[in-house]
Each structure stands twice: as structure tokens, then as C-alpha cells.
Homo-oligomer: A and B are copies of this chain.
Amino acid sequence: MDATVDNGTVATSRIRFGGVGGQGIVLAGRLLGKAAAIFDEKEAVCTQTYGPEARGGASRADVVISDEPVDYPFVIQADVLALLFQEAYVKFRSCLAPDGLLIVDTGLVRPAEDDDADHGLPATEIAEKLGNRLTTNVVLLGYLVEKTGVVSREALEAAIRDTVRPEHHEIDMRALEAGARAARGEDPL
């Protein structure tokens, strides 16, 4: 699966994260955007929209990564849809491109029976087994980046080191590796 759309000569990837407050969705978007732009030298825009949905606790972050400056940052059709909450699945599933990648937390999201997109991992459960449920978003990123190559693993690691507190670096690197292992079909732990 290729998470980029090639519009003539410009390759663009549109990624939407959806979840609920406290799952680190906005931080996941920022980490991916920083990885792309600061460490992989692409352009990236991260958008968080707050509106009636936010008042219900739902949370969403869009990231657009491109070889050129991004002129429209909203994700209409997603190349990658990463969802940690059932409500987000119900709301956003239809915006996934036909050949796009769906990633759900399989412990928290139950896809429709006729949904043959099947990529996902029990991100929250893996994070809990690693010892810190707050790394769920990093487990998810490890999976996403291993599956798509939308940014390099090195850039993602650099973005994490640049953003989160030093005392979290070690567990975040382990969370990243666990997500990547799950993406390769290996035991994540």
C-alpha cells in the first residue's frame, strides 16, 4: 500500500488521526508533521479543528505531508486513517481513499462486518503492557510509519526526542519498536 498520492510530480500524503481526549491524537499529528518537515525536509501542515464535535470529547488531527508547500491543509480524502475510538470510526471511515490504509485500535474499535480493510493493532493494550498507556499514540505511530514509510523511522525518532520530555524517550522508543513489530506481523512485545 502506498500512502502517497502522486499529482503529476508532487507526492502528497494525507493522514487523519481520530480518537477521544487524552489519547494523544494531537501530539501524534504534531510528531508526524515534525518528523516529515524538520527531519525529512518535506513540507507539513498539522490542523486541529475544534467545534461541536470537540465538545463531545472527540479529537482529531489532520496532517498533510508533501514535497511542496501545502496550500490546502484539511483532509477530505485520507490516504491513512488512524482511529483509536469507535465514534471516530463511525464518523471518519467514509473519508478513507479506496486504496487507503485503515489503522484501528482493535481493542477499542470494531469495524463494520462488511469492512474488508483489516489493518490494525491493539495499540492501547500494547502500551499498557509496555507499562504506560500514555504511549498508545507512539505505538500507533510506529505501526503507521512501518506500514507506510510516509516518514523515515529516524525522522520520527528525532521528532520524539525533540518534543517529549527526556524521561519519556526510552519508553517511547520501545513503543515505536512495538508498533513497528506489530506492523511486520511479529509479536510486538
Contact = CB atoms under 8 A, between A and B. Distances in A.
Contacts of A38: 50, 54-55
A34 B46 contact: no
Interface in A50-67: 50-51, 54-55
Interface of A: 21, 26, 30, 33-34, 36-38, 41, 43-51, 54-55, 69-70, 73-74, 162
A137 to B, nearest CB: 15
Contacts of A51: 37, 43-44, 69
Judged by DSSP, the binding face of A is mixed
B54 A50 contact: no
A44 B37 contact: no
Contacts of A37: 50-51, 54-55
Contact of A47 (B41, B46, B54): B46
